[in-house]
Amino acid sequence: MIFDLKSGKRKRVVQVVFGFLAFIFFISFVGFGIGSDVSGGIFDAIGLGGNGSDEDIESTYEQQIDEAEKKLDSQPKDPNALNNLARYRFLAGQENLSFDEETGVATFTEETKSEWDQALDAWEKLTKDPPPKLDVQVASQMICAYVPPLPQCALQAPLDSINLTGAAATQELVAKQENDAASWAQLAQFYYFDGDVKAGDEAREEALSRADGNESKQLEQGLEQLRTEAEKFVKQQEEAAKAGESGEDAQLQNPFGGIGADTGGAGALPPAGAP
């Protein structure tokens, strides 16, 4: 909603805000242990770890994509087929990332975008009338497709690939299902920076009501700071829109080390099939 980057001022604002987001997301994903109970770390938690050779993975994905699509030809709303199609289109998109083994940087490609767009199309059909229980791993994959520069899925990707509204819609389903402090805090983050302060406050209260002890205090401070920064961001966006700047100035540098084709990367997805 707020990632209109035609203005140079907006580009500078986004750069500052994403630097702040990187810190906050780090707190919520590491400090509050999202994915920490899954063997292999956060990449395995969202299905991004290695799994055999590239050739074996690719053939498996093609087969499972075909099976899901054939099922949907006869039953367009089949939840298992839609879930599988979302999962394996996402993983097929991962296969198409450009990965530099020397620098450890993965770059978003047109092939990745095409596969992830199809993954999100299947996911949005599934969540239009969500099943009683979502596959949380697939939901996490879809959030990476919506917001590629997140720390747990950090890669070089253009800012116009970011869809906070879609990420928030998915995270809301996850939060209602998981019903823990970290899930609700993540939802508050998405809402705040998508400009929906009311929904962000509601998610924030849900998060705080489920946090205990030191976690509660740290979480409250982090979310309060995030809310303040988000309000400044939205205000600056509005001012930039009124100013009507042309946006012909400097290229946006990557606060995550993953946005923008000409900048270095601090974190990246592992290559598919990596040991």
In a domain, 135, yes or no: yes
User: What is the average pLDDT across 5-33?
Assistant: 47
Q: Which of 33-42, 199-208, 258-267 has the lowest mean pLDDT?
A: 258-267
State the pLDDT at residue 245. 53
Q: What is the pTM of this model?
A: 0.73
Q: Which of 33-37, 76-80, 265-269 has the lowest mean pLDDT?
A: 265-269
* pLDDT band at residue 154 using 50, 70 and 90 as cut-offs: low
In a domain, 275, yes or no: no
State the pLDDT at residue 54. 46
Burial letters 220-232, b for 16+ CB under 10 A, else e: eebbeebbebbee
Which residues does 14 contact at the CB level (< 8 Å), separation at least 6? 3, 5, 159, 252
In a domain, 109, yes or no: yes
Listed residue (37, 12, 269, 36) closest to 151, CA to CA: 269
Helices (H), 75-135: 79-95, 110-128
State the pLDDT at residue 50. 43
Neighbours of 86 (CB within 10 A): 28
Please report, rounded to a whole number, the percentage of residues in the chain having pLDDT higher than 70: 66
In a domain, 267, yes or no: no
Report in angstroms the alpha-carbon separations of 238 from 241, 250, 253.
5, 20, 22
Structural domain harbouring 65: 8-243
Q: Which of 88-92, 165-169, 271-275 has the lowest mean pLDDT?
A: 271-275
Q: Domain total for the chain?
A: 1
In a domain, 258, yes or no: no
Determine contact, residues 273/97, Cβ cutoff 8 Å: no
Rounded distance between C-alpha atoms, residue 18 and residue 216, angstroms: 24
Quick one: DSSP state of residue 157? -
Helices (H), 135-163: 136-146
Indicate the length of the chain as a whole number: 275
Determine contact, residues 13/233, Cβ cutoff 8 Å: yes
In a domain, 237, yes or no: yes
Listed residue (190, 187, 199, 233) closest to 15, CA to CA: 233
In a domain, 13, yes or no: yes
User: What is the average pLDDT across 92-98?
Assistant: 90
